């Protein structure tokens, strides 16, 4: 099954797996260097990309990669490798920008890791292109159309971020990833490029 995945989706899964293994073997110093640090002495420009290949735990990695596996493949097949890659990293950069703004405004000293920003971009694009595709939640196992799932998830993330519910999760980074992906799709549409299947 893995070998049947489109090339970029497969490469993202492998790269994230390698990143996590490096974290385990090279320790906290490696993670701190390549994680997204708040603006300041520890911040480096490359971190706006490298943070997305690191994770805080195996479960963090597993669920992010499950989402890349589920939603990345169909979008890459629909768009092609180049457009999919541009979209994914635009979402990653959008998430990084949002997180840097939030940590600057709140004075949060902690670094950020994870592919969730890219994942939220993929969720948005999947809902746009496959709005009636059923998605079944793990907890609880409730099936719902993709457009409803992403809408509710986005609202929940905004509420969690504004109320500081579930601290330790970069809720605004998730929304930044979604927003970054939306900007790319808007740009493509303004150029007259097809970006979604008709509803």
Note the pLDDT tens digit of each residue in 146-169. 888 888 878 887 877 677 776 677
User: Encoding tokens for residue 52?
Assistant: 């997305």
- Please list the alpha-helical segments (H only) found in the chain: 7-26, 28-34, 47-50, 58-67, 73-79, 81-106, 116-129, 146-163, 171-190
Tell me the whole-structure pTM to 2 decimals: 0.89
Q: Pick from 166, 72, 177, 188: which is nearest to 120 by CA? A: 177
137: CB partners within 8 A, 6+ apart: 143, 144, 149
Per the prediction, the chain carries an average pLDDT of 88
134 DSSP β-pair partners: 145
Q: Cα(30)–Cα(14) distance, rounded to whole angstroms?
A: 18
Note the pLDDT tens digit of each residue in 6-35. 999 999 999 999 999 999 999 999 999 999
Quick check: 12 and 87 in contact, CB under 8 A?
no
Q: What is the pLDDT of residue 194?
A: 61
Please give the CATH number for the structural domain made up of 2-190. 1.20.1540.10
Note the pLDDT tens digit of each residue in 48-80. 999 999 999 999 999 899 999 989 999 999 999
Q: What is the pLDDT of residue 106?
A: 85
Q: How many CB atoms lie within 10 A of CB 114?
A: 26
Q: Pick from 72, 196, 47: which is nearest to 123 by CA? A: 72
């Amino acid at each position: 099954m893995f070998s049947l995945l489109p090339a970029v989706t497969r490469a993202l899964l492998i790269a994230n797996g390698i990143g996590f293994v490096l974290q385990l073997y090279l320790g906290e110093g490696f993670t701190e260097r390549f994680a997204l640090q708040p603006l300041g002495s520890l911040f480096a420009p490359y971190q706006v990309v490298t943070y997305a290949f690191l994770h805080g735990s195996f479960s963090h990695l597993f669920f992010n990669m499950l989402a890349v596996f589920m939603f990345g493949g169909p979008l890459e097949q629909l768009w092609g490798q180049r457009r999919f890659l541009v979209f994914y990293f635009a979402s990653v950069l959008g998430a990084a920008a949002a997180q840097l703004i939030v940590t600057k405004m709140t004075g949060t000293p902690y670094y950020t890791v994870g592919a969730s920003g890219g994942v939220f971009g993929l969720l948005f694009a999947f809902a746009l292109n496959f709005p009636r595709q059923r998605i079944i939640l793990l907890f609880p196992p409730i099936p719902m159309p993709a457009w409803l799932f992403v809408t509710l998830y986005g609202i929940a993330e905004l509420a969690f971020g504004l109320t500081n519910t579930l601290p330790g999760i970069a809720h605004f980074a998730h929304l930044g990833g979604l927003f970054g992906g939306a900007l790319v799709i808007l740009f493509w549409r303004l150029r007259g490029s097809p970006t979604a299947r008709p509803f």
